[in-house]
């Protein structure tokens, strides 16, 4: 609340004051007044105003919005620029270089790597490494056991067992990760994502390029967990230091311009009368004293208050009452600094104390003696290895800090950017004053020139002929026969030396541009301009690499800042898990996408971690690595799968080391495969020879068997043949006997038939003879014609046949 000045201009209060005095608001007000006196008071100017003005100037140049009044003063004559019709818009040279640097930094991804360094984790890591080493030395035996018994005695997959100590060390660096380390990395990455650290980092990288300093702040909020905030260096104040990382600073502060209604949120005890008094005093305070320059007459200025949020580092005494138990043990109980145990010798209590560093935080209304807030900072960050020390809530980096002055790449470019702008304006002047080329006509040279068509040769006719044909008619002699000095009546007039001036200005423009490249180290290979077409590719790559080297301090500043913020997050997470009621909810919030790490997160406070930043290789390193990979693939030294594993490693040195190991391993595998192929071929040849010998033996055996079978078959055939012959002979004899019997039977039948036929013939002849004799007797009696006995016989034959047919029917 408002109070009169206490010891104005008297410097910082006593560092050796008691803790009760340090906790008092009077002590905090003296700290605020000392910071205000150091930064905001001065006759010819203030430290805050000077720094703010310089930083705002650098930002304006970095955005291409620098004031043009200085250029107008350079070109004005007695302050008059009414005759200058120029485009005063600044040439955006510096913004391009800022974008090239910042975007180049953002194009290289960074990842946080955590290694547990406490004793338990170190023992676990060493034990795992020893198991791997045992597997490495007994690999052949374990493999034989696995092949014969089916029992896998390896600690890891058989393919992952290293072959030598170099591979073992690389395996531990690339492949080994404890669960607690994974949980810690997940926690840090989650905090980064929740606070949109990518955007914060981009702004800090831009500040490091433009202003030369970048500032971040870390804190803890019960509702939101760990908070990361960007701090504008324009409004940042700090104690004198020569440390680029500001580690030895004992106070920090930042100026914020807030509405008067925000004061109640900071200090609810303020009355309306006090608020009105503060508003009136603050509005009367000259804002130019702070170099704000952004104050406007919008009507709300009286309601806007300049507040200084500051942190002050001092020490505090921690007092413990040591109670001696009956069993010989001791129990410490924390007490305030006024505790004094009884002086009795038989007392069971003793006093123990130590001093530790602490941070106080406060809020002060600039221009008044009003302290809105002063208290010991909650949730201070302390390294576990040195608990008496405390880490600043602000993380600051200014690589080019020297004797209080902060250099930056933009600061180096400003003088040459001014010359480029002036050259650009003068170039506009020269172009505006250029006039077209004309002709000179000598009227005397046109006199007495006869065109031959009766027309007069006047200047108009001469110009028409000149512009249409490019020719002109003149006379070498006058009418009096004298030499004509104007025999060439029309001559072309060239303009004044504008072309030479333009060329000179362009050369000056390029010179200043090259000076920017020289002072920053950003050459043509990376500044988005067209490189020299005659430059070799190797030279261009070398130039790009040199440019990356020139701006590496900006990259290192961002890496260092990210590492320090990650360390603070690690300490804060550990403290939250150990002391806060918010611990379980915070662990669930971090492990919401991976609940398996929640249990590990709850034990983070039992471990100690080292935080490292692994940055992706730059374009030159990537190109060199890729070239090595392609050459190795072309030479069949590594496989495609090996190349994929190598490309996945973001550390350039580890990637090259992995490439070497992959080459060596592939060479051994190729040698083993070649030996196996030779052995296989030898075995195949032996097997082929054995197979050929066996085939020949089998063939001989088969031949013998076939011959034996053939002989047996022949014997069987002979036997069957003999049997058949005997059977055939018996059948033949049987058939012969049968045929003979049949033949004899047939012979007897034939003989009988012959005999019967003979008898029948004889009977027929007798009958015929009798018949014929009868017919002859009849013929004699009748005295008929002679009888033809042949025809009669035929008729008789016919009649007999008819009689037989009728008989059959």
Taking residues 200-224, report their average pLDDT. 90
Q: What pLDDT shows up at residue 308?
A: 92
CA distance 172 to 168: 6
Using the predicted structure, report yes or no on whether residue 291 has a pLDDT greater than 80: no
Q: Which of 381, 335, 333 is nearest to 358 (CA)?
A: 381
Express each pLDDT in 701-717 by its tens digit: 878 887 888 888 788 77
Classify residue 587 as exposed, middle or buried by CB count within 10 Å of its CB (0-12, 13-18, 19+).
buried
- How far from the centroid of its chain's Cα atoms is residue 666's Cα? 27
Q: Which pair of structure tokens corresponds to residue 379?
A: 């949730």
Using the predicted structure, report yes or no on whether residue 540 has a pLDDT greater than 50: no
Backbone phi, psi, residue 266, to 5°? -80, -45
Using the predicted structure, report yes or no on whether residue 548 has a pLDDT greater than 60: no
Q: What is the DSSP string of 591-630?
A: TTT-GGGHHHHTTGGG--EEEEEEE---HHHHHHHHHHHH
Q: Which of 614, 613, 620, 486 is nearest to 543 (CA)?
A: 620
CA distance 533 to 536: 8
Is pTM, for the whole model, over 0.95? no
487 Cβ contact list (under 8 Å, min separation 6): 445, 474, 475, 476
Using the predicted structure, report yes or no on whether residue 497 has a pLDDT greater than 70: no
Given the structure tokens 């040459």, which residue do they identify? 416
Please count the CA atoms within 13 angstroms of the CA of 223 that sit on its side-chain side.
0
- Go through 783-804 and write b for each residue having 16 or more CB atoms within 10 A of its CB, e for each that does not: eeeeeeeeeeeeeeeeeeeeee
CA distance 721 to 714: 10
Taking residues 226-247, report their average pLDDT. 92
Q: What pLDDT shows up at residue 138?
A: 82
> Measured at the alpha carbon of residue 34, what is the angle toward residues 28 and 35, in degrees to the nearest 5?
95
Q: Provide Rg for the chain, Cα atoms.
A: 61
CA distance 688 to 695: 10
Taking residues 193-213, report their average pLDDT. 92
**Confidence label for 258 from pLDDT (cuts 50, 70 and 90):** confident
Using the predicted structure, report yes or no on whether residue 12 has a pLDDT greater than 60: yes
Q: What average pLDDT is seen over the chain?
A: 78
Using the predicted structure, report yes or no on whether residue 329 has a pLDDT greater than 70: no
Q: Which pair of structure tokens corresponds to residue 450?
A: 């006869």
* Most confident segment among 364-373, 491-500, 715-724: 364-373
Provide the 3-class DSSP secondary structure of residue 358: strand
* Most confident segment among 231-245, 297-311, 467-481, 656-670: 231-245
**Confidence label for 555 from pLDDT (cuts 50, 70 and 90):** confident
Given the structure tokens 């003063």, which residue do they identify? 73
CA distance 31 to 11: 8
Q: Which pair of structure tokens corresponds to residue 45?
A: 């100017």
Q: Which of 513, 538, 542, 515 is nearest to 526 (CA)?
A: 542
112 Cβ contact list (under 8 Å, min separation 6): 185, 188, 189, 192, 562, 566, 611, 612, 613, 614
Q: Which of 258, 270, 448, 290 is nearest to 372 (CA)?
A: 270
Taking residues 50-60, report their average pLDDT. 93
CA distance 184 to 191: 11
- First-to-last CA distance in the chain? 167
Q: What pLDDT shows up at residue 236?
A: 94
What percent of the chain is helix, strand and coil (3-state, nearest 5)?
55, 15, 30
Neighbours of 34 (CB within 10 A): 20
CB 358 within 8 A of CB 376: yes
CA distance 369 to 285: 12
Q: What pLDDT shows up at residue 1?
A: 46
> Measured at the alpha carbon of residue 528, what is the angle toward residues 525 and 530, in degrees to the nearest 5?
65
CB 118 within 8 A of CB 612: no
- Go through 600-617 and write b for each residue having 16 or more CB atoms within 10 A of its CB, e for each that does not: bbbebbebbbebebebeb
Q: Which pair of structure tokens corresponds to residue 248?
A: 């030895």
**Confidence label for 6 from pLDDT (cuts 50, 70 and 90):** very low
Q: What pLDDT shows up at residue 359?
A: 94
560 Cβ contact list (under 8 Å, min separation 6): 245, 397
Say how many residues make up the chain: 809
CA distance 253 to 367: 16
CB 410 within 8 A of CB 209: yes
The one-character DSSP state at 585 is H
Given the structure tokens 């650098």, which residue do they identify? 58
Taking residues 790-794, report their average pLDDT. 59
> Measured at the alpha carbon of residue 212, what is the angle toward residues 250 and 53, in degrees to the nearest 5?
85
581 Cβ contact list (under 8 Å, min separation 6): none
The one-character DSSP state at 150 is -
Candidate from 187-201, 230-244, 324-338, 785-799 with smallest mean pLDDT: 785-799
Given the structure tokens 């083993």, which residue do they identify? 672
Q: Which of 114, 186, 177 is nearest to 597 (CA)?
A: 186
Q: Which pair of structure tokens corresponds to residue 775?
A: 């017919």
**Confidence label for 156 from pLDDT (cuts 50, 70 and 90):** confident
CB 629 within 8 A of CB 647: yes
Please count the CA atoms within 13 angstroms of the CA of 116 that sit on its side-chain side.
26
**Confidence label for 240 from pLDDT (cuts 50, 70 and 90):** very high
CB 278 within 8 A of CB 263: yes
CA distance 348 to 338: 18
Q: Which pair of structure tokens corresponds to residue 785?
A: 């014609």
């Amino acid at each position: 609340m408002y109070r009169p000045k206490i010891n104005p201009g008297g410097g910082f209060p006593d560092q050796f004051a008691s803790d009760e005095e340090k906790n008092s608001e009077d002590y905090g007000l003296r700290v605020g007044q000392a910071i205000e006196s150091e930064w905001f008071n001065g006759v010819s100017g203030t430290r805050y105003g000077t720094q703010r003005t310089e930083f705002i100037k650098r930002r304006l140049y970095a955005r291409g919005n620098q004031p043009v009044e200085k250029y107008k003063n350079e070109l004005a004559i007695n302050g008059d620029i009414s005759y200058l019709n120029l485009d005063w818009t600044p040439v955006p040279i510096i913004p391009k270089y800022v974008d090239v640097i910042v975007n180049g930094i953002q194009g290289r991804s960074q990842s946080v790597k955590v290694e547990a360094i406490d004793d338990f984790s170190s023992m676990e890591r060493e034990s795992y490494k020893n198991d791997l080493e045992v597997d490495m030395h007994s690999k052949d035996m374990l493999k034989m056991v696995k092949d014969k018994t089916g029992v896998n005695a390896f600690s890891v997959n058989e393919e992952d067992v290293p072959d030598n100590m170099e591979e073992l060390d690389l395996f531990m660096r690339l492949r080994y990760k404890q669960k607690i380390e994974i949980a810690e990395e997940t926690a840090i990455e989650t905090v980064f994502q929740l606070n949109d650290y990518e955007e914060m980092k981009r702004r800090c990288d831009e500040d490091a390029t433009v202003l030369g300093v970048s500032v971040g702040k870390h804190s803890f909020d019960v509702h939101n967990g760990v908070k990361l905030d960007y701090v504008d260096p324009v409004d940042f104040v700090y104690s004198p230091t020569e440390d680029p990382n500001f580690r030895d600073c004992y106070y920090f502060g930042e100026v914020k311009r807030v509405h008067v209604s925000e004061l109640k949120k900071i200090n609810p005890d303020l009355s309306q009368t006090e608020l009105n008094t503060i508003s009136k005093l603050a509005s009367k305070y000259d804002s130019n004293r702070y170099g704000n320059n952004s104050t406007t007459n919008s009507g709300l200025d009286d309601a806007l208050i300049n507040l200084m949020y500051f942190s002050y580092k001092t020490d505090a005494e921690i007092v413990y009452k040591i109670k001696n138990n009956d069993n010989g043990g001791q129990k410490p109980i924390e007490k305030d600094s006024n505790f004094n145990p009884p002086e009795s010798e038989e007392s069971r209590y003793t006093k123990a104390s130590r001093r530790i560093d602490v941070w106080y935080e406060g809020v002060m209304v600039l221009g008044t003696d009003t302290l809105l807030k002063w208290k010991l900072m909650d949730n201070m960050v302390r390294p576990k290895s040195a608990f008496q020390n405390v880490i600043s809530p602000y993380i600051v980096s200014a690589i080019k800090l020297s004797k209080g002055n902060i250099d930056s790449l933009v600061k180096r470019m400003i003088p040459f950017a001014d010359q480029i702008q002036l050259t650009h304006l003068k170039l506009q002047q020269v172009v505006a004053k250029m006039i077209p080329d004309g002709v000179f006509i000598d009227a005397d040279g046109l006199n007495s020139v006869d065109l031959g068509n009766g027309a007069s040769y006047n200047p108009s006719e001469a110009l028409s002929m000149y512009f249409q044909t490019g020719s002109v008619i003149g006379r070498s002699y006058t009418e009096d026969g004298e030499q004509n000095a104007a025999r060439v009546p029309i001559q072309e007039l060239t303009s004044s030396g504008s072309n030479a001036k333009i060329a000179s200005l362009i050369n000056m423009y390029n010179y200043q541009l090259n000076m920017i490249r020289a002072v920053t180290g950003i050459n043509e290979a990376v500044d988005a301009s067209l490189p020299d077409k005659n430059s070799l590719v190797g030279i261009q790559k070398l130039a790009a690499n040199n440019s990356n080297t020139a701006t590496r301090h900006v990259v290192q500043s961002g890496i260092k800042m990210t590492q320090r913020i990650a360390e603070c997050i690690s300490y804060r997470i550990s403290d939250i898990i150990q002391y806060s009621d918010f611990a379980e909810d915070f662990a669930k919030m971090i492990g919401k996408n991976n609940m398996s790490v929640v249990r590990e997160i709850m034990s983070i406070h039992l471990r100690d971690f080292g935080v490292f930043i692994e940055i992706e290789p730059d374009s030159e390193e990537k190109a060199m690595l890729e070239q090595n990979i392609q050459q190795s693939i072309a030479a069949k030294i590594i496989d495609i799968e090996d190349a994929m594993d190598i490309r996945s490693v973001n550390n350039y040195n580890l990637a090259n080391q992995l490439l070497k190991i992959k080459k060596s391993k592939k060479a051994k595998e190729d040698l083993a495969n070649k030996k196996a192929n030779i052995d296989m071929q030898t075995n195949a040849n032996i097997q082929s020879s054995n197979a050929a010998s066996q085939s020949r033996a089998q063939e001989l055996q088969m031949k013998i068997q076939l011959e034996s079978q053939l002989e047996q078959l022949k014997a069987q055939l002979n036997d069957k043949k003999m049997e058949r012959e005997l059977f055939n002979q018996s059948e033949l004899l049987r058939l012969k006997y049968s045929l003979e019997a049949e033949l004899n039977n047939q012979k007897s039948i034939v003989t009988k038939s012959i005999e019967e036929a003979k008898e029948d013939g004889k009977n027929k002849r007798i009958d015929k003879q009798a018949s014929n004799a009868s017919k002859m007797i009849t013929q004699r009696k009748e005295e008929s014609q002679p009888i033809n006995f042949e025809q009669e016989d035929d008729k008789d034959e016919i009649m007999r046949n008819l009689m037989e047919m009728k008989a059959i029917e």
